[in-house]
Structures are given as structure tokens and as C-alpha cells.
A = this chain, B = another copy of it.
Amino acid sequence: MVRAKIWILKKHFEGFPKHSDFELKEVELPALKDGEVLLETVFLSLDPYMRPYSRIHLKEGDTMLGSQVAKVLESKCPTFPVGSFALARAGWTTHFISTSKELFPMLPNWPEKLPRSLALGAIGMPGLTAYFGLLEICQLKPGDTVLINAAAGAVGSVAGQIAKIKGCKVVGCAGSDKKVAFLKEIGYDEAFNYKTVGSLEEALKKASPDGYDCYFDNVGGEFSTVALGQMKKFGRIAVCGAISLYNDTVPQTGPYMQLMMILKELRMEGFVVQRWADRREEGLTALLKWVAEGKIKCQEHITQGFENMPAAFMGMLKGENTGKAVLKV
């Protein structure tokens, strides 16, 4: 018998998450049935979407949601033999039982030298989010000037590098000087710390006096109001995330955007990467190739120890990570 440690959502978050919203439990897992696999979580993903989605998909007492890279400990399913690795969406748990329907295999040609945690980052959901958001929603073209915020995060850092691969000028904003240095290292043409820059409007103007063709938005709220004012005519805005709004108890307000959208004929679209589930392999193959060639540099912010998962989650929401936040169990 295997005992799994799990993090429960004890209380729905009100405002910024607190330690007391979580509870660590242990449960005994049943014996395997035919077609089932017992897995051990190796890496847990930490992503901003967990904050709004917990409210939508969980009730109090449920295991916190999330995905992981896991190793097969025991198998009654030929697709996932013992010792193989898989991707799962089993939530915050050290061990779990699954069927092949709920698991994704790792890409078959995964290079030895690449950490498997990248399957949660640049060569995983965040990478695909950047890929489809830029190519499909922004309809990125060579020569476009692209604005990306939360640019040093899991999605933003990949998005900026894809935009460079595609022949664009890329401007990024992040919340610390260390992150800004990282952005310049990975090829952003212009980058600045929005917390210390003074006027965001002036900084955006300075970074691209002609304005922006595309805006890959991970932040929303006030930042977006200012950014919209700097879009070129027919600008395209991919609304990927809204981390500035996730912890609101009362919805934040700002100027209505319709008039600017008409005058500049802007297109703004919200999206969830799941939309291109049928093109997952295309996206991952492209991302793996770019990472293997060194065209996409990956940085990870790794927290050790399952017991630190709530702290790592809160740290990620505060922007403590540069690059992809993961937890090594």
C-alpha cells in the first residue's frame, strides 16, 4: 500500500492566498486495477492560472489543481511501463493512480541533457501558450513590434524568444532589475522594470516610438489601459493572463476601452491554450527543436520539497520567480 501526501484547498482564496487556505493530508491509495498506473510526482508545476481556476473548478476540501511530471512505479497498462515518465493533471499530490486516458506521454525524442521539468515549462503548457497565442491570436508577422508583460515569467520568456525567432522587435516589461537583465540576456530588444520606470506610457513610447503591432498580455488591468494607448492601428492583443486581477476581492475598474478600440481598430482576444489541443504535438515539436538548438533559453525557478508547495505558489503569484516556477518533490 502506498500513502500519498496531498495538498487540499481548505478554504477558497479571498484576496491573496494564505497558508491557512491549504491543508496537508495523507491518503492511502487502493490496489491497482487493470488498465491503471501508479505514479510518483517528480516535478509539480506552479502556474498563475491555478489562482482563478481553483475558484471555478474546485470545492473546499478538493485536492489543489495542477499538473506534474511523474514516474511510473507500478503498471497494469502497457502504454506506461514501470520506470517511464508521464505528464498528468493530478493536482498537488506525491502519488496517484491514473489511466492512460488521463496521462500524456513525454515527447519520444526528449534529449538526455534536458531536464524533464521543461515538459511543464518551455516545452509544455506555458510554451504552447506562447506559441499559439503569438501565432494564432496575435497573427505575428516578421517585422512586427511586440509588447510582452510579465515577460520574465514562464510564458513571457518563451513568447519573447519565439517573437525573435519569427523576426520581430520585442519589448518586455518585468517587475525587478534582475528580471530585466534576464530579458536582455534572452534577446529582448528593449526591456524595463515597470515598478521603477516612472511613467509606463513614456517608457512604452521610448521603447517603440512608432507603437506596437502586437501585445501579448499576461497582466491585464491598468497596464493594459496604458498599453492600448500605444498600439498601432489594427493592433492585435492576445489576452493570455490577467495576474494583476486574480487576487481582487472587489473588481478593479479602469477607463472603458471601446472608444480606443474603434479609433485604432484594435482586435483583442482572450484565449486558453487548450483550444489547440489537437495541435499539441506540432507545438511541442517546434518548441523542443528551438530549445535543443539553443534558440530558446530556459530558466527555471525550482523549489525543493512537497511541503513547500503553498509557499512556492504564493511566491510565484508575487513574481518571485524568473523563468518557470516548478517544485521538485
Please list the residues of chain A having a beta carbon within 8 angstroms of any beta carbon in chain B.
Answer: 52, 56, 217, 220-221, 224, 239-242, 245-246, 251-272, 275
Contacts and interface: CB of A to CB of B under 8 A. Distances in A.
A257 B258 CA distance: 11
Contact of A265 (B245, B251, B258, B270): B270
A272 B263 CA distance: 8
Contacts of A262: 239-242, 270-272
A263 B258 contact: no
A255 B255 CA distance: 9
A268 B242 CA distance: 16
Q: What is the total number of copies of this protein in its complex?
A: 2
| Of A224, A251, A257, A270, most B-chain CB atoms within 10 Å | A270
A194 to B, nearest CB: 17
B265 A271 contact: yes
Contact of A256 (B52, B253, B272, B275): B253
Contacts of A264: 270
| Of A52, A267, A269, most B-chain CB atoms within 10 Å | A269
B245 A259 contact: yes
Given A267-B268, A268-B268, A268-B269, A256 B261 contact: no
Given A261-B269, A263-B270, A265-B275, 4 more contacts: A56-B263, A221-B258, A257-B257, A265-B271
Contacts of A258: 217, 220-221, 224, 239, 242, 245, 270
A252 B254 CA distance: 8
A253 to B, nearest CB: 4
B266 A270 contact: yes
B252 A239 contact: no
Contacts of A221: 256, 258
Contact of A224 (B220, B256, B260): B256
Contacts of A256: 220-221, 224, 242, 245, 251-254
A263 to B, nearest CB: 7
Contacts of A217: 258
Given A253-B254, A254-B253, A269 B265 contact: yes
Contacts of A245: 256, 258-259
Pick the 5 closest A-B CB pairs, nearest first. A261-B270, A220-B258, A242-B258, A262-B270, A251-B255
A269 B266 contact: yes
A265 B132 CA distance: 13
